[in-house]
Chain A
């Protein structure tokens, strides 16, 4: 068994959207290095409850990096120090014994803070509702093998479809742009033959909705790609731009 560790957690505490927040530092002693960062927060919360204080609220669900529920800034980095992972996949062993770790919510105008580390990302759902689908009613589909799709195209579409909608890309972007999220969905559907009929309408409506939600513009910083837990490539943003220009011309 590896040696126990002590970590200091400097956590953003904010009771609700209307009240200003502040950092509070807590210490958690004798924790196993194999514990996940969210389990460390569980332990801290148990301590706080026993002391009669309010626990730190944070969102989490699957705790295996696929649902996209968790996410906050860890020492200023969305999800934390280990790249290509979500907050639930960061471990105590990824930090130094005695280190002070700062945890704060994703910061973006379009992601208002609800409480502590919990933010409202419903803007993403509204962007998908604007066009992130192929319009096919249940029961009207042809046989699945009637449309062959080259393996490499299917794989590229998959790489984009792997987005978990966590919002780290927005939090990492200096402009709080949602371009990586939106382009991932546009790329997924534009690459596939099934996505062709609605290609123009889709990109126009989704981009328009993204602007309406108050996300900033993309200026090619590339921070989004760096923190994306599913390593979605910034090339999808280039694809989205081409799609958008093409759509404008053909309108």
Chain B
């Protein structure tokens, strides 16, 4: 594996506090009259996509917005529960842009770019202003001003929230801003479209090929730039907190057209999800991290203690997060809390029928602050828990277990959010940029909106002003070739006519990834995973059965295409995890840990972004590295004790 391509992050030098301002001042501008001449294809309409489409259209660009859902309002950003971070310091508790930057860099275990993370922290305050102006009904105090609460990995209360539906309210804000531009004729909306290829002409991203999910028709679209906002790839694991339609197909097709894929093994496991109950289960449901503000996590001290929770006396309970991490307690970051939960379950102290769960107990808070307080803060989450489990969490502690929730890895982008393909920009969870090896709670919403509202409107103009874009139409041979390739690929999928369904094969892939590329990894397991995935991929292409044909609404065909891509991406995740011989953030290699079981980084060898290039052979990707320099913070052992 050679290091050939030079990855230029384009991160500006100079003092940290003024990097973004100076960079903006140096970016070239496009005149208002000329903006109308550019067409931008925005793929995905979650927080990043909707905010980008709205903001770019407001500037005067022609925007075409695509989504796989029947309406752009349904993108999975909608399911984010707990909140959004911003360094407003309204609580006067010592918060600042610097502290949000520092917490995020440290939370990511020193595997993110300083310049990007500082910019994110800086923009966080503008996001709250923008959203409030749009009418987002954030929680307020009696005086009428905005309320905030704590989240994992922070000692200040900087998380703004809208009950347990913050993602929904922020997305509806961005969606409505975009719909205003639809009304103004500046955004054309293409729902129920799935991007199946990127069209690259003279080395520049110039279009996409979509499948119309109702008619099955393949449709080519020309643009001057493509902005991918298609989310993360956690559904590779099958069971995850992602929506059923979340997928990696758009980013994976771009990867196969030349975009480098960064840090694929950085996948986040969220500690507080509702445990798996049966093999029919189709997805996992998150219980917001905000619950850890008022819930205490515990297991019985004794192994195999099957008494009901309320019969276990206080001195026979182990509040293990409070015990192991006294300063952060139940608000330890996600990776650390997840591993601690796994460890107590591995010891045989897990609870519930499967033994793979721990208690999240609210009885102390209910006693101290009353049941109405809990209802106001978390009412909808308690309701959701009761719907799913049939148990009343006001009376019996919740049972929770870690689940796949977010992917920090994604397409490599520079400081301008442009991938290694000129004209292909990647925003939100789909890129790798800001969270390093572990994302802090309430930072995904912040990143999606910072990228869409406040970064891409500046950087895309600089690209246009510096680039000659010859006129192309869908008659260009690159479009014809792409259409033919996609058509052939769909035909191939449909022609297998084997015995197994997409669901069965996807579940098998998910099991492999969860067992070997999940919360704890080791070299032998990762090699096993690679072999198993290769075999399963072969079986997929020989034994898959898809009903119906390509000229109809056919959800099994859609799923099959996505799973075909997960079968390839899954291998890259394992290859990346195997190559990174250290533990950092959510990537925990059992061989590399401190005596007390914490992640042991190797800054000498791995203080870099691993960006993988597709070589034509899925099993032989080429590694490129972008070294990470820390000028303003010193990477130390990350302690939450």
Contacts and interface: CB of A to CB of B under 8 A. Distances in A.
Majority SS at the chain A contact face: loop
A144 B88 contact: yes
Contact of A42 (B137, B282, B383, B387): B282
A156 B58 CA distance: 30
Interface centre among B58, B191, B387 (most CB of A within 10 A): B387
Nearest to B283: A63
Given A69-B70, A128-B179, A151 B142 contact: yes
B547 A53 contact: yes
Contacts of A157: 135, 137
Interface in A100-159: 114-115, 118, 120-122, 124-125, 128-145, 147-151, 154-155, 157-158
Given A138-B55, A141-B132, A141-B133, A132 B176 contact: yes
B135 A61 contact: no
Interface in A146-178: 147-151, 154-155, 157-158, 161-162, 164-165
A158 B169 CA distance: 9
Interface stretch (B12-20, B143-151, B622-630): B143-151
Contacts of A85: 387
A54 B283 contact: no
Interface string A31-65: 11011101100110110111011110101111111
A68 B176 CA distance: 16
B137 A158 contact: yes
A63 B165 contact: no
A82 B144 CA distance: 36
A204 interface: no
A120 B282 contact: no
Interface residues of A, number: 83
B425 interface: no
Given A136-B133, A138-B54, A35 B278 contact: yes
A64 B240 CA distance: 12
B616 to A, nearest CB: 33
A150 B144 contact: yes
A36 B274 CA distance: 14
Nearest to B164: A66
Interface stretch (A186-194, A213-221, A232-240, A241-249): A186-194
Contacts of A81: none
B330 to A, nearest CB: 23
Contacts of B73: 68, 125, 128, 165
B180 A133 contact: yes
B79 A66 contact: yes
A194 B134 CA distance: 7
A195 interface: yes
Contact of B285 (A50, A64, A195): A64
B556 A145 contact: no
A22 interface: no
B453 interface: yes
Contact of B453 (A55, A134, A138): A138
B380 to A, nearest CB: 9
Nearest to A43: B280
Interface of A: 1, 15-16, 31-32, 34-36, 38-39, 42-43, 45-46, 48-50, 52-55, 57, 59-69, 82, 84-85, 89, 91, 93, 114-115, 118, 120-122, 124-125, 128-145, 147-151, 154-155, 157-158, 161-162, 164-165, 188-189, 192, 194-195
**3 nearest CB pairs, A to B:** A148-B144, A141-B133, A133-B176
27 contacts: A34-B277, A46-B503, A57-B554, A60-B244, A62-B79, A62-B243, A62-B244, A63-B282, A64-B283, A64-B285, A67-B74, A82-B387, A114-B553, A122-B71, A125-B72, A125-B182, A125-B189, A128-B176, A128-B179, A134-B133, A135-B180, A138-B55, A145-B90, A161-B135, A161-B169, A164-B168, A165-B73
